[in-house]
Structure 1
Amino acid sequence: MTIQTDVLVVGGGATGAGTARDLALRGLDVTLVDRGGLSAGTSSRSHGLCHSGARYAESDPAGAEECIQEREVLGEIAGACVRDTGGLFVQLEGDDPDYFAAKRDACEEVGIPTRELEGDDARAEVPALSPNVERALSVPDAVIYPSRLVAANAADAREHGARIFTHAPVEEMHLEGDRIATATLGGRVDDTVEADFVVNAAGAWAGRVAAMADVDVEMQPNRGVMVSVRDDALEPATMPVLNRCREPTDGDIVVPHEDEVVLGTTSVDVDDPDEYETADWELERVREECGRMLPPVANAADVRTWWGVRPLYAPDEATRESRGISRGFFLLDHGADDVANMTSIVGGKLTTYRAMAEATADLVCERLGVDDPCVTADRRLPGADDPDRLDAFVAEFDAGGPSDADVVSTGDDIDRS
């Protein structure tokens, strides 16, 4: 029997689940579908850094301001989906002191709280820090457990009437005039959906979904490696996130969990987000560079390794250099492409998923004549204060992944490496 719905959301990562939640809370009938388990594409394969915005403060002030705002919102609504660790941007001997100063000043301009520490004071907070750390800038970074975050958003959407279908890939879209009339689902559902509006939140796969509606969305998938390690010399439970205070490059982030640290990452463009080669040099580079900040990780025991694919939007061929592509998000109204009832939400960061979802839901509601405002910034996620309940959501939606596999307990061993 055909599924009738106001909005079909394609893609069950953080942005798709957040959009489904936002729309359901505004009273719309929503159907969320993903070709696999929730968060399986990119969200659960990240390094899990909840950005304060400091990483982008001097290069993208607007994006940095968005990060600090959403970081504060997540601190209020996400509970055990987020761990408030704080963060340090560390300047090593030989690093450009002017860059440190520019970042500190830019953070002040944006409104990101900072505190400057001398090297010895930084080592007092993180004893394993390199003796070559000359000074550090304390910022309000945190750690996200993406599996929990995505599953909690989906659970709240479902509590407000949304249908959540996992392992249900969109196989075809049928156009009638300037509208998507139906979408055919395969997998476990094997049915047809008739929706008044379609949201393409498929991340690195957004181009493929858009192509089903004869729309071009130019994505540049970009892989990065993460290595989780453990060593007796580390104290992850009390560590802040560590960032190298220099222009973003390979191996400049260390994200602490409870008894492991995640080292990241690299940036390599790929042609296919499903089929891509990986390279040993990435593993070596990440360990070596992160080890300059935190020496014990250079030879620490390897717990697990995974690659993720960033959903970078690159409509201009001339700007397709991965480090130079904006990490901001883009909301594409396909009315301009003669498909009146479809939008794609692309780019962005895990930290800003809720703002991305709000912008998307605003556009959908405008098109469908719905006046209800967004409430997701003020409404706590279900299970936020109960890790066991959050982990039950993760298991139910098959949302587990390598990013937080050491923290999230689903009763199964998750291995999506």
Structure 2
Amino acid sequence: MALEPEVLVVGGGATGVGVARDLALRGVDVTLVDRDGLCGGTTGRSHGLLHSGARYADSDPEGAAECLAESRILRRIAGGCVRETGGLFLELAGDDDAYFGAKRAACESVGIPVEVVDSATARDRVSGLSADLERAMRVPDAVVFPSRLVAATALDADRHGATIHTHAPLESLTVRDGAVTEARVGGRFDDVIRPDYVVNAAGAWAGSVAELAGVTVAMQPTRGVMVSVAYEGLGPVLNRCRNPADGDIVVPHRKEVVLGTTSVPVRDPDDYATPHREVETTIAECAAMLPAVAERPIVRRWWGVRPLYAPDETDRGGRGISRGFVRIDHAADGVTNLATIVGGKLTTHRLMAESVADLVCDRLGVDAPCRTADRELPAVDDPDRLDRAVAAFDGAGPADADVVDVDDVGAEQ
């Protein structure tokens, strides 16, 4: 028997699950489907940085301000899904002095707290930093555990009536008279859904979902490698203070650090090269900031694919000097009950969800405010329960595999 929810959300990453939570809290009947477990795409394959906005302050002040505000919200509502570390932007010998100054001024303009320290002070506070360090700038970066964050968000969506189907790939969309009337879903679900509205939150795969409805979402996914090496004791996130380039970030985990990353365009987010030279380049570049990582054993490595919107990437000239998000109302394309949300970053997923939920509620005539910024997520201070939820939603990913333990828990929701 076909389901007939008010809204169908396609995609179980942070944004899609965030949309389901937001709509459920507004009293909307929502069903979410994902072809894999939750967090199986870009979200679960990130480096786990909770952005302060400093990385984008000079290139995209509006996006940086969003990061700052959203990182503060996540600290309030996500509790144990976030680890406070702070961050350092490092200027090494030969780096552009003017870039450091521009970065500092941009952060201050946005309202991002900064503190400039000399190299000796930085090395006293953080052991192992490069002898080539000239100066550093402290910013309020942090680390987020994506698998737990998505699981906690899904728990809240479920608690408020959302239905979540994992391993349920969308196979087709039927459009009649300018509206999606039916979605055929396979896998474990293997049935038909007849929604009033559809949200395409499929990330790097959003273009393929849009094609099923006969509309175009031009995506330009890029692959990026992450390399986790054994290393204990690093406190803050390390960022190279230069124009975005390969191997310019080191993210501390429990007994590891994650080194990242590259940015290489790919045609197919399911089929792309994973050359070892990207691993070598990333290690070598990150070792310029923290030399010991060059000699530490690799624990694991993985690639993620960023869900970048092609027109934005063209405007910015290629490599992501910004990570804004784009909401597309396909009524302009002749499909009145379909919207797509793409781009953005894990830090701003809640805001992305709010944006598209506002649109959906306007179209459905639902008069209810967004409540996601003020409600604490469930179980965020109970790691064992969170890990049971990760297991229940099959949401474990490589980004936080050293933290999340799903091997010794029973799955429950």
TM-score range with shorter-chain normalisation?
over 0.9
Paired residue type of 1:368:
L
**What fraction of aligned residue pairs are identical, expressed as a percent?**
64
1:279–1:381 CA distance, 2 compared to 1 (3 A): same
Q: 2:360 is matched with which residue: 364, 370, 373? A: 364
Match of 2:281?
Answer: 285
Question: For residue 16 of structure 1, what is the amino acid of its counterpart?
Answer: G
Q: Deviations over 1:193-226 (max 9, x none)?
A: 0111000000000000000000100001100000
Match of 2:341 in 1: 345
Deviations 1:55-80 (A, max 9, x none): 00011000000000001001100111
Counterparts in 2 of 1:268-283, with a 5 A limit? 268-283=264-279
In structure 2, the residue matched to 1:308 is 304
Q: Name the counterpart of 2:49.
A: 49
**Equivalent residue runs for 1:24-63 within 5 Å:** 24-63=24-63
Distance 2:382 2:43 in 1: 21
- Could you tell me which runs of 5 or more consecutive residues in structure 2 were left unpaired when the two chains were aligned: none
Residues 326 and 91 of structure 1: is their aligned pair in 2 closer, same or farther, counting only changes over 3 Å? Answer: closer
RMSD over aligned CA atoms reads: 1.3
Residue pair 1:204, 1:310 contacting (<8 A) in 2 also: yes
Mind listing any 5+ residue stretches in structure 1 that lack a counterpart?
Answer: none
3-state DSSP of counterpart to 2:308: strand
Provide the TM-score with structure 2 as the length reference. 0.97
Partners of 2:318 and 2:294 in 1: CA distance = 26
Check conservation: 1:319, 1:325, Cα contact below 8 A: no
* Residues 188 and 321 of structure 1, relative CA distance in 2, 3 Å threshold: farther
Q: Distance in 2 between matches of 1:33 and 1:84?
A: 32
Cα distance, 1:102 vs. partner?
0.5
Q: Which residue of 1 aligns with 2:19?
A: 19
Alignment of 1:65-80 (within 5 A): 65-80=65-80
Distance, in Å, in 1 between the alignment partners of 2:250 and 2:321 is 22
* 3-state SS, counterpart of residue 35 of structure 1: coil
How far residue 411 of structure 1 moved from its aligned partner, in angstroms, is 1.5
Question: 4+ runs of 1 displaced by more than 4 Å?
Answer: 316-321
Q: What SS class does the counterpart of residue 21 from structure 2 fall into?
A: helix
Structure 1 residues 92-171: aligned runs within 5 Å: 92-171=92-171
**Which amino acid counterpart does residue 266 of structure 1 have in structure 2?**
T
Q: Would you say the 8 A contact 1:45–1:307 is kept in 2?
A: yes
Separation in structure 2 between the aligned mates of residue 146 and residue 320 of structure 1, nearest angstrom: 27
Give me the whole-angstrom Cα distance separating, in 2, the residues matched to 1:383 and 1:247: 39
CA distance, structure 2, for counterparts of residue 144 and residue 180 of structure 1: 36
Give the secondary structure class of the aligned counterpart of 1:22.
helix
Range moving further from structure 2, 222-231 or 319-328: 319-328
The offset of 1:327, in angstroms, is 1.2
- Alignment check: 8 A CA contact 2:251 2:257 kept: yes
- Tell me the CA shift for residue 146 of structure 1: 0.4
In structure 2, C-alpha distance between the alignment counterparts of 1:332 and 1:206, rounded to whole Å: 11
Query: How far is 1:125 from its partner?
Result: 1.4
Q: Which aligned pairs between 1:102-251 and structure 2 lie closer than 5 A? A: 102-231=102-231, 234-236=232-234, 239-251=235-247
Pick the aligned partner of 2:350 from 348, 354, 368.
354
Q: Counterparts of 2:372 and 2:123 in 1: how far apart (Å)?
A: 39
Matched residue SS, 1:3: coil
What is the alpha-carbon distance in structure 2 between the residues aligned to residue 217 and residue 3 of structure 1?
A: 27
- 1:322, CA displacement in angstroms? 3.5
Return the offset for 1:325: 6.8
The alignment status of 1:261 with 2:273, answered yes or no, reads: no
| Higher mean C-alpha deviation, range 312-321 or range 83-92 | 312-321
State whether residues 100 and 246 of structure 1, in contact with CA within 8 Å, keep that contact through their aligned partners in structure 2.
yes
In structure 1, the residue corresponding to 2:403 is in which secondary structure? coil
Cα contact 2:221–2:306 (8 A) shared by 1: yes
Deviations 1:13-60 (A, max 9, x none): 000000000000000001011000001011000011100000000110
In 2, the alpha carbon distance for the partners of 1:122 and 1:316 equals 36
Q: Distance in 2 between matches of 1:11 and 1:325?
A: 25
Letter in 2 for 1:101: G
Shift of 1:124: 1.1
TM-score, scaled relative to structure 1? 0.96
How far off its partner does 1:315 sit? 3.0
Conserved? CA contact 1:224–1:307, under 8 Å: yes
Residue 316 of structure 1 deviates from its aligned partner by 6.9
- For residues 320 and 131 of structure 1, do their structure 2 counterparts lie closer, same or farther at Cα, with a shift above 3 Å needed? closer
With over 3 angstroms needed to count, the CA separation of the structure-2 counterparts of 1:320 and 1:119, relative to structure 1, is: closer
Tell me how many residue pairs correspond in the alignment.
409
Alignment check: 8 A CA contact 2:13 2:150 kept: yes
Aligned amino acid, residue 290 of structure 1: C
Q: Distance in 2 between matches of 1:304 and 1:324?
A: 25
Structure 2 CA distance for partners of 1:12 and 1:318, relative to 1, 3 Å: closer
Kindly indicate whether the alpha-carbon contact (under 8 Å) linking 1:16 and 1:202 is maintained by their aligned counterparts in 2. Answer: yes
